[in-house]
Amino acid sequence: MIWKIFLKYNDYSLEELVITFHLVSVASRSEMIGFFVVCFILTNYICIDAVLCFGLLKKTPMTRITVAKGDGIGPEIMEATLEIILAAGAKLEIDEIEVGEKVYLSGNTAGIAPESWETIRRNKIFLKAPITTPQGCGYKSLNVSTRKFLGLYANVRPCVSLHPFVNTKHPVMDIVIVRENEEDLYAGIEHQQTDDVVQCLKLISRPGCEKIVHYAFEYARQQKRKKVTCFSKDNMMKQTDGLFHQVFDEIPKEYPDRERTLDCRHRRSNDS
């Protein structure tokens, strides 16, 4: 499409073309029309493929999302986040809900009102800032409750270097961390055994392990990533992390097209 114009007349690099086309795809209607006018002035030529880009000029439907500004630095960073998202061209309708410390201190030990849950479930997209859970007995972590209530068992965190725009010691870093979100210590089961001893149960189930490992491999296949690595601590926790390790050894047989590795303390094994 539009990159053909630049390839023919301006000798742009591939990176510049990708960035340029991305900017075109998120621009407003008037900005895009202006962009095409400039292209015509510079090149004195508009190929038929470029005209196809006008399909992007169609009005983008609005997406309704739920936003919680949270506590502490939450409101400040949420305002900055929304400003960036909207500046990038996202068409959003925002339903703001109150969660966190104010709700806790009003007497709601869950930190969120039932109608707020309904808003989250209806919109299906929830953008939240940090939330404070007051110290003391009886208060439930809203982060943990959200994961369990919505079945958010996988925490997916892409980590990509912005080199050369941002100086970094890892210029080619491009990894995705997939973390199990509901089991292990995140189950939040604690007991006071004595005045001096407290206990936290580490729960790991085979279904939970299978679900998160399958998710990681399906994500790798969908995103065309070649390798899945499992980080385990089964040299010390031989039954709990040992079960996770065992499941990770079994499931890759269903994904012969993906490479897998296992990393744990003092040991590393590689299987293609």
The 10 Å CB-count burial string (b at 16+, else e) for 220-247 is beeeebeebbbebebeebeebbbbbbeb
pLDDT digits (tens, 9 = 90+) for 83-105: 999 999 999 999 999 999 999 98
Give me the residue spans of the domains in the chain: 2-57, 60-133, 153-272
pLDDT digits (tens, 9 = 90+) for 166-198: 999 999 999 999 999 989 887 778 899 999 999
Query: Which residues in the chain show pLDDT less than 70?
Result: 1-60, 136-137, 264-272
Alpha carbon distance, N-terminus to C-terminus of the chain: 39
Q: Where are the beta strands (DSSP E) in 182-226?
A: 190-192, 198-200
State the pairing for strand pair 126-128/63-68. parallel
Cβ proximity of 230 and 270 under 8 Å: no
pTM: 0.68
What's the CA gap between 264 and 270, in Å, rounded? 12
- Name the residue with tokens 């009003």: 106
